[in-house]
């Protein structure tokens, strides 16, 4: 018996706006409105609005909340301060990735963890079953809608809602606000490579906030954007996608997450396995590539060395609107990961020439403090 697909509070709004709705991670979500290319370019040049209400929100509280998250995640939670966010990962005992997450600190005794939609129940169960601390984990995902405002002109839209906030809110920080009498958590993170903001708002309040953002965003020609543009944007920025670049059977070191794995902080789940793998030497690496021949590589396409030996597979691939090039990410044997190394990628029965290139493919405005 198939499980019914969930709907975000904006489902009817998407239909009203003419979106093409598709199943994704157990939800019915907009793939596109005006078209993937138009939405992609709007985010790169101006701003786009995404419904990300399918993402999960897990709150952690208690006297040992910090210690619990420090043990249950790979990054150094102790380095956070109030109002700061941190990209991190939940690992299994073998060092594989249970999920990639963002941890937001309210205080040493209270945190918000934003998790991927398809993994919400799994992550909550994982936290709960491995919680040996005086800490409480609460899955409040059904109480929150989430909207992402992304693009170089996103700050102009935010300033209409909360004057001065774009100047106050630094990259990977968050702040609680009130709008129309309701609490809104505003975070400055994103998944497109551009500057942008996420709004965590009460579920029943989401439609009103979405409509207001589109209204005040008319000045910068803000448009709604769907999953198609979200994927092409994140791939140009070389951000990993859970289920493609990240998985429980892929070591976090192979996935290119070494920069968030903090061995020096002390014990955490997966630490021993990753230390052993680091000592022995990682056999695989995640690389970026450009195709040198016509065609588009897709997830699962096989990758070959110059001597025709299979050495890995494509994790994500597309033809991106900004660069107008066929590119992607691939998990391959580390010996072939050097820049400019030629690869063969099997696309629809043909081996196409590709080369390893530097990541990200495109660097946008994310992390650049632009003021108000």
157: how many CB neighbours lie within 10 A of its CB? 26
| Cis-peptide into 329, omega within 30 deg | no
Residue 278 has pLDDT above 80, yes or no: yes
- Can you list the domains of the chain with their CATH numbers? 6-52+143-236 (3.30.1360.120), 283-357 (2.40.30.110)
Q: What is the pLDDT of residues 174-185, one digit of tens each?
A: 999 999 999 999
pLDDT band at residue 57 using 50, 70 and 90 as cut-offs: very high
Q: Which phi and psi angles does 328 have, rounded to 5°?
A: 180, -175
Buried b (16+ CB within 10 A) or exposed e, 315-344: bbbbbbbbeebbbbbbbbeeebbeeebebb
CA-to-CA distance for 91 and 337, rounded, in angstroms? 24
Helices 206-216, 154-161: axis angle to 10 degrees equals 120
CA-to-CA distance for 251 and 258, rounded, in angstroms? 10
- Return all residues near 348 (Cβ < 8 A) that are at least 6 apart: 295
What mean pLDDT is reported for the chain?
96
339 DSSP 8-state letter: T
Q: What is the pLDDT of residues 196-248, one digit of tens each?
A: 999 999 999 999 999 999 999 999 999 999 999 999 999 999 999 999 999 99
- Return all residues near 192 (Cβ < 8 A) that are at least 6 apart: 43, 48, 150, 151, 230, 233, 234, 237, 364, 366
Residue 372 has pLDDT above 50, yes or no: no
């Amino acid at each position: 018996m198939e499980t019914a697909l969930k709907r975000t509070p904006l489902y009817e709004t998407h239909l009203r706006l003419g979106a093409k709705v598709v199943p994704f991670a157990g939800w019915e979500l907009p793939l596109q409105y005006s078209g993937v290319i138009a939405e992609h370019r709007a985010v790169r040049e101006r701003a786009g609005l995404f419904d990300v209400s399918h993402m999960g929100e897990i709150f952690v509280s208690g006297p040992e909340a910090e210690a619990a998250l420090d043990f249950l995640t790979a990054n150094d939670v102790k380095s956070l301060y109030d109002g700061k966010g941190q990209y991190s990962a939940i690992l299994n005992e073998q060092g594989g990735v249970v999920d990639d997450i963002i941890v937001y600190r309210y205080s040493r005794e209270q945190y918000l963890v934003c998790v991927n939609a398809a993994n919400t129940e799994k992550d909550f169960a994982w936290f709960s079953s491995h919680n040996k601390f005086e800490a409480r984990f609460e899955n409040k995902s059904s109480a929150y809608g989430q909207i992402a405002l992304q693009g170089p002109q996103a700050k102009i839209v935010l300033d209409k809602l909360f004057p001065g906030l774009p100047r106050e809110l630094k990259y990977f920080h968050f702040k609680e606000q009130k709008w129309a009498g309701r609490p809104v958590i505003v975070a400055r993170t994103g998944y497109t490579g551009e500057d942008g903001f996420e709004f965590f708002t009460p579920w029943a309040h989401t439609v009103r906030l979405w409509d207001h953002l589109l209204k005040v965003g008319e000045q910068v020609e803000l448009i709604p954007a769907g999953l198609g543009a979200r994927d092409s944007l994140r791939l140009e920025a070389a951000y990993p996608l859970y289920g493609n670049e990240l998985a429980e059977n892929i070591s976090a070191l192979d996935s290119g997450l070494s920069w968030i794995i903090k061995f020096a902080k002390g014990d955490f789940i997966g630490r021993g396995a990753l230390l052993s793998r680091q000592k022995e030497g990682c056999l695989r690496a995640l690389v970026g590539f450009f195709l040198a021949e016509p065609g588009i590589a897709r997830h699962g396409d096989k990758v070959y060395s110059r001597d025709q030996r299979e050495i890995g597979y494509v994790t994500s691939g597309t033809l991106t609107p900004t660069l107008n090039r066929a590119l992607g990410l691939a998990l391959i044997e580390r010996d072939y990961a050097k820049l400019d190394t030629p690869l063969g990628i099997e696309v629809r029965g043909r081996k196409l020439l590709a080369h390893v290139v530097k990541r990200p493919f495109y660097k946008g405005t994310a992390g650049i403090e632009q003021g108000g």
